């Protein structure tokens, strides 16, 4: 695979965080690309297979439970792809809290900081 890690974002609230994370990592010399999966059914298998062939890892980011969301759709689409890099799912867990969107994405671990951390971990593991 290639050098970058691709965070895959599906929700508007996480899309901006994915772009922010990409900007942060680019400054550090770890280029990543953001693939906006606007739909998980149908999912863009061609784009995902391209990402799998060109990167060292995929980070899925979504404002959704871990089960049955984007991460599972990505893993399913790439299940038979021998080039599939590691996939890290950033999702919402049970969170009985309320607040502003930025506070909630941070509390859920799906904000730009969480994306940067996951991308760094995948990039380091692939070296």
Ranking 6-10, 48-52, 98-102 by mean pLDDT, the lowest is 6-10
54: CATH: 3.40.50.920
Question: Domain range holding 90?
Answer: 4-126
Average pLDDT score over residue span 38-63: 88
Q: Tell me the whole-structure pTM to 2 decimals.
A: 0.82
- Give percent of the chain with pLDDT exceeding 70: 87
- Residue spans of alpha helices (H) in 28-89: 45-54, 70-77
Count of domains observed in the chain? 1
Average pLDDT score over residue span 90-109: 86
Q: Give pLDDT, residue 4.
A: 64
**In the predicted structure, residue 11 carries a pLDDT above the cut 50:** no
Q: Give pLDDT, residue 65.
A: 87
Q: Which two tokens stand for residue 49?
A: 């297979």
What is the Cα 35 distance to its own chain's centre? 8
Q: Whose CA is closest to 89, among 101, 104, 76?
A: 76
Q: Which two tokens stand for residue 94?
A: 């049970």
């Amino acid at each position: 695979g290639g050098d970058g890690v691709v965070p895959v974002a599906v929700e508007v609230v996480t899309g901006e965080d994915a772009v922010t994370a990409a900007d942060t990592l680019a400054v550090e010399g770890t280029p990543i690309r953001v693939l906006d999966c606007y739909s998980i059914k149908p999912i863009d298998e061609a784009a995902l297979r391209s990402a799998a062939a060109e990167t060292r890892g995929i980070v899925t980011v979504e404002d959704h439970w871990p089960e049955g969301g984007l991460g599972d759709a990505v893993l399913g689409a790439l299940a038979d792809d021998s080039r599939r890099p590691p996939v890290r799912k950033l999702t919402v867990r049970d969170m009985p809290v309320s607040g502003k969107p930025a506070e909630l994405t941070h509390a859920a671990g799906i904000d730009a900081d969480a994306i940067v951390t996951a991308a760094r971990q995948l990039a380091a593991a692939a070296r």
